[in-house]
Amino acid sequence: MADKKDKIDPIDATFDEVVGAISPRVYGKEITSMDRKINKLAPVRRRKKITSDQGTFDLGIDIERDIEGIGMGVLSDGTPYLNQRGLAALCGVQNAHIGTISSQWKESVQKPRISTIKGILLEAGADFAQPHIEVPHKGVVHFCYPAEICLAVLEYYALDAGSNVRPEARKNFRLLAGSKLKEMIYSQVGYDPTGGIAEPLRKWHERIELNHQSAPSGYFSIFNEAHTVIYELIMAGAEIGEKMVPDISIGQHWAKYWDANDLESRFGDREKFPHRYPKDHPQAKSNPQIANCYPLDALGEYRRWLQDVYLDGGKFNNYLKGKKEIPPSVSQLAIKRLSPKLIEQ
């Protein structure tokens, strides 16, 4: 394999940049919560070994998604993949170049490009008899390029292709190196590779079970109304738990707004209610926590404040900046999803 003249280190990328690496046409497009909803849990299966005898595999497509004509999905053994168009866009080359890699893969005299890509795979401990998997699905044969293959081909066009090195590939290799490509595919198609509920969702769900009807009738609690913010943070990759309780920040700022604008005179008195934390939270030692709840008549005012003042006004952004455990990519994704105005500025 040719020596690399330079090295590209991975960077902490925003989610939009990762999606943009797959399809420039969707870069900047709003991604709703449905894009990252877990629609399918991983089945309990052993991964099939890809052998040289298999031209079309006895695998199926478990879940797939098409983003602006670029297909991605997960095979029945849990393998995340891109279609040929997606891999070509990733590398900044024509579809035909990817097809040629497939057609030349098994030639007795290997082309330099094929030898280099295979060398990259071997360095990563992977050995593929062919670069794509042919999978019949809904009456059509799909050419599925596993994520490992995609990254090896991407690295070739980013570093090893000589005069054919593509700037798109160099940028995208930085964005998608390591496990980011797999994670992006799983996220976009709504697939949970762990086969179970993610830990942040579990911890949030435990708090919901303990508190969803704690406020008295006729009142709302900040925790129950903060579900959109908490959910989007979890979907962005934040570890919601004992160290990160965003409803505390929301509640504190809303209480100050309530007092400063004398909202009690408009909507009536706020009340107190017992809020509890799960047993594995250190805050549980002082359960129950006494928290404020507000008249339902003020719910519309609260929701306007949450969007206009807390989210769009920058308070949420400041809260995230104060959380060193949150990677910048997670913060930027959460802001993009909850307050796109801040991204546009």
Over residues 273-285, the mean pLDDT reads 89
Q: Do 70 and 103 belong together in one domain?
A: yes
pTM reported for the whole predicted model: 0.49
Over residues 81-107, the mean pLDDT reads 93
Over residues 244-255, the mean pLDDT reads 93
Contact 58, 51 (CB under 8 A): no
Q: How far apart are CA 137 and CA 39, in angstroms?
A: 19
Q: Do 261 and 306 belong together in one domain?
A: yes
Q: How far apart are CA 340 and CA 92, in angstroms?
A: 28
pLDDT at 10: 54
Residue 203, pLDDT above cutoff 70: yes
pLDDT at 331: 84
**Least confident interval from 22-26, 74-78, 217-221, 313-317:** 22-26
Q: How far apart are CA 127 and CA 335, in angstroms?
A: 40
Q: Give the model confidence (pLDDT) of 126-136 as tens digits.
A: 889 999 999 99
Cβ neighbourhood burial of 312 (10 Å; 0-12, 13-18, 19+): middle
Helix extents (H) in 12-68: 15-22
Q: Is residue 9 part of a domain?
A: no
Over residues 91-115, the mean pLDDT reads 94
Range of the domain at 329: 199-344
Q: How far apart are CA 16 and CA 175, in angstroms?
A: 11
Q: Do 167 and 55 belong together in one domain?
A: yes
Q: Do 186 and 205 belong together in one domain?
A: no
Nearest residue to 254 (alpha-carbon basis) of 298, 208, 210: 298
Could you tell me which residues come within 8 angstroms of residue 219 by beta carbon, excluding any fewer than 6 positions away? 270, 271, 273, 293, 294, 295, 296
Q: How far apart are CA 306 and CA 308, in angstroms?
A: 6
Q: How far apart are CA 97 and CA 85, in angstroms?
A: 10
Q: Do 209 and 96 belong together in one domain?
A: no
Instruction: Report residue 259: phi and psi, to 5°.
Output: -70, -45
Which among 136, 168, 192 is the end of a domain? 192
Between CA 23 and CA 82, with CA 65 as vertex, the angle to 5 degrees is 60
Q: Is residue 10 part of a domain?
A: no
Q: Do 169 and 213 belong together in one domain?
A: no
Structure tokens, 114: 């094929």
pLDDT at 56: 47
**Least confident interval from 269-273, 283-287, 336-340:** 336-340
Crossing angle (nearest 10°) for helices 180-189 and 167-176: 80
pLDDT at 214: 86
**What is the β-pairing status of strands 40-41 and 191-192?**
parallel
Q: Is residue 109 part of a domain?
A: yes
Residue 192, pLDDT above cutoff 80: no
pLDDT at 1: 46
Q: Do 154 and 62 belong together in one domain?
A: yes
Q: Is residue 2 part of a domain?
A: no
Q: Do 167 and 206 belong together in one domain?
A: no
**What is the β-pairing status of strands 80-82 and 70-75?**
antiparallel
Instruction: Read off the pLDDT band of 239 (50, 70, 90).
Output: confident
Q: Is residue 1 part of a domain?
A: no
Q: Give the model confidence (pLDDT) of 139-187 as tens digits.
A: 889 999 999 999 999 999 999 999 999 999 999 898 888 888 888 888 7
Q: How far apart are CA 105 and CA 273, in angstroms?
A: 67
Domain tally, the chain: 2
Number of neighbouring beta carbons within 10 Å of residue 174: 17
Q: Do 29 and 161 belong together in one domain?
A: yes
Number of neighbouring beta carbons within 10 Å of residue 167: 10
Q: Which residue has the higher pLDDT, 79 or 70?
A: 79
Mean pLDDT of the chain: 81
Q: Do 168 and 254 belong together in one domain?
A: no
Q: Do 64 and 185 belong together in one domain?
A: yes
Q: Is residue 61 part of a domain?
A: yes
Q: Is residue 247 part of a domain?
A: yes
Which among 139, 165, 192 is the end of a domain? 192
**Least confident interval from 31-45, 191-205, 231-245, 256-270:** 31-45
Nearest residue to 266 (alpha-carbon basis) of 297, 287, 244, 292: 297
Q: Is residue 186 part of a domain?
A: yes
Q: Do 85 and 44 belong together in one domain?
A: yes
pLDDT at 49: 41
pLDDT at 45: 41
Q: Give the model confidence (pLDDT) of 317-341 as tens digits.
A: 999 988 887 888 788 888 888 887 7
Contact 19, 89 (CB under 8 A): no
Q: Give the model confidence (pLDDT) of 29-68 as tens digits.
A: 333 333 444 444 454 443 434 443 444 456 888 888 876 6
Residue 16, pLDDT above cutoff 80: no
Q: What is the chain's alpha carbon radius of gyration, rounded to the nearest angstrom? A: 24
Q: Which residue has the higher pLDDT, 231 or 105?
A: 105
DSSP at 158? I
Which among 167, 192, 217 is the end of a domain? 192
